[in-house]
Amino acid sequence: MAENVKMHAVQYERYGGGAAGLKHVDVPIPTPNKDEVLVKLEATSINPFDWKVQKGMIRPLLPRKFPHIPGKSISPLVLCNGIFRLLHSLLVDLGTALDVAGEVVRLGSDVKNFKTGDKVVAMLNPTSGGGLAEFAVARESLTVARPTEVSAAEGAGLPVAALTAHQALAQSAEIKLDRTGNQANILITAASGGVGHYAVQLAKLGNTHVTATCGARNIEFVKSLGADEVLDYKTQDGAALNSPSGRKYDAVIHCASGIPWSTFEPNLSANGKVIDITPGPSAFLTFALKKLTFSKKQLVPLILIPKSEHLNYLVQLVKERKLKTVIDSKHPLNKAEDAWAKSIDGHATGKIVVEP
């Protein structure tokens, strides 16, 4: 591919501004580093994290006071603040979407597992390129092959949302996704959203009873994903997270936000855990308190640590039709701001996809 050829991309230059802060620009097509592939994008999906970074929402969580001395033992709160600070510093220069699917068109010199023409799904390295563009560079280590049975849009939905659902269930909640584990009662909040809709489907691959929360309009949809019982979060029982069948939850995959520990606590089984994927400062405080007091009931703040073997597993599940990406809406790249605004609005059912 000729050097200095330009592509259409969407960027923002400062904090704030929401969808109106996005700018359509022509920029050079990025060049892959030796361990990266250049992907011609066919689909990108938006995650709330993308616009939260633009909004500066990670900033209040940063430590106000430093220095932090590397190598010294640090409190979980300071550790988590440090992780947020690192994520923030990685993302602030870029800030557009990380989930992509497309075709490999150029290889870095050390790339071993891909050739040009391969169809792939990737989670982008935040320091080297944005997903709201015609091309992006992806690390080989977070790129996986996409079989022909998996469309670009289905694949692009997976990286952040499905990996988060998988990490929460398979690692934090220790659910075996092949039904070999003990029966467990799971609650999934915001089950109609990007993470939640994957979480319901993945949980049902295990030996689980799934209670889910969503808005009234999505109750039948969430049941169709496999949930055993569904609560409308705007009703009294829904707000209290009461299982209609009287179950206590062994694990909660908490994808909504703003629900206090005092609401979860009475609904948990003796060793129940809340896996909080939207942890704020009070969640980190609860996490620390529960640890310090040796509480059997725990709150576990989750930050995604993406792994290609898990992304590959998820792509295979889609191929085998054991997992589906539900598409809320598709938007052309030249209207990427509509996708951004839809995500900010907070009412997506499944994934919001952008196509060049």
Ligand X SMILES: NC(=O)c1ccc[n+]([C@@H]2O[C@H](COP(=O)([O-])OP(=O)(O)OC[C@H]3O[C@@H](n4cnc5c(N)ncnc54)[C@H](OP(=O)(O)O)[C@@H]3O)[C@@H](O)[C@H]2O)c1
Residues near ligand X (CB under 6 A) are: 47-49, 52, 160-161, 164, 189-190, 192-196, 213-215, 218, 233, 255-257, 277-278, 302-304, 343, 346-349
Q: Which CB sits closer to ligand X, 38 or 256?
A: 256
| Closest CA relative to residue 169, chosen from 84, 262, 238, 255 | 255
- Across the strands, what pairs with 135? 40
Q: Which CB sits closer to ligand X, 173 or 277?
A: 277
Whether the CB-CB separation of 311 and 123 falls below 8 Å is answered with yes
Q: Smallest distance from the beta carbon of 27 to ligand X, in angstroms?
A: 27
How remote is the C-alpha of 3 from its chain's centroid? 34
Q: Smallest distance from the beta carbon of 301 to ligand X, in angstroms?
A: 8
Angle subtended by helix axes 159-166 and 194-203, to nearest 10: 40
Q: Which CB sits closer to ligand X, 32 or 130?
A: 130
Angle subtended by helix axes 281-292 and 76-91, to nearest 10: 150
Q: Which CB sits closer to ligand X, 1 or 79?
A: 79
Q: Which CB sits closer to ligand X, 32 or 350?
A: 350
- Residue at token pair 């196509």: 355
DSSP reduced 3-state for 268:
strand
The beta-strand segments (E) located in 108-247 are 119-123, 135-139, 143-145, 184-189, 208-214, 229-232
Give CA–CA dist 151/187, Å, rounded. Answer: 30
Q: Smallest distance from the beta carbon of 135 to ligand X, in angstroms?
A: 25
Give CA–CA dist 168/320, Å, rounded. Answer: 22
Q: Which CB sits closer to ligand X, 152 or 222?
A: 222
Q: Which CB sits closer to ligand X, 29 or 212?
A: 212
- Classify each residue of 93-121 as buried b or exposed e, where b means 16 or more C-beta atoms within 10 Å of its C-beta: ebbbbbbbbbbbbbbbeebeebeeebbbb
| Closest CA relative to residue 94, chosen from 37, 136, 156 | 136
Q: Which CB sits closer to ligand X, 58 or 74?
A: 58
Q: Smallest distance from the beta carbon of 268 to ligand X, in angstroms?
A: 18
Residues 6+ apart with CB under 8 A from 121: 100, 101, 143, 144, 146, 150, 155, 156, 158, 159, 311, 315
Q: Smallest distance from the beta carbon of 174 to ligand X, in angstroms?
A: 18
Q: Smallest distance from the beta carbon of 300 to ligand X, in angstroms?
A: 11
Q: Smallest distance from the beta carbon of 95 to ligand X, in angstroms?
A: 14
Q: Smallest distance from the beta carbon of 23 to ligand X, in angstroms?
A: 23
